[in-house]
Amino acid sequence: QTVVTQEPSLTVSPGGTVTLTCASSTGAVTSGCWPIWFQQKPGQAPRSLIYRTSDKHSWTPARFSGSLLGGKAALTLSAVQPEDEAEYYCLLYYGGVQPWVLGGGTKVTVL
């Protein structure tokens, strides 16, 4: 069974920068995995931020960016704002019988 691993939690100061990563048990994450990043705040539905590694939606704040870093998908939050405190999830595409696998999420605390 494929497992996608994210940091359970990260803490960042307001105005700082933090990078979240998304690793695959099958090996390096590539652009072919179509990495997707979601943000979820308590009591709210998830909101999509990044798709196909680094593409942004029209509503995605400029301070969010996606990339591949050291064999993992990465989400970087720059100039972090208090409202960025949330849970962040990555979703990777593998095709086959179970085509997508979701990471366990990273709780980002802004402190």
Residues found near another protein in the complex (CB under 8 A): 1, 34, 36, 38, 40, 45-48, 51-52, 55, 57, 87, 89, 91, 93, 96-102, 104-105
76/93 with CB nearer another protein: 93
CB of 111 to another protein, least distance (A): 21
DSSP tally for the chain: helices H, then strands E:
0, 11
Residue 57 backbone phi and psi in degrees, to 5: -80, 170
Residue from 69, 110, 66, 70 nearest 90 by CA:
66
**Residue 77 or 92 having the CB closest to another protein:** 92
Smallest distance from another protein to CB 100, Å: 6
- CA dist 64 and 39 (Å) reads 11
Q: Which residues contact 95 (CB under 8 A, 6 or more apart)?
A: none
Q: Residue 10 or residue 102: which is nearer to another protein going by CB? A: 102
Shortest separation between residue 43's beta carbon and another protein, angstroms: 10
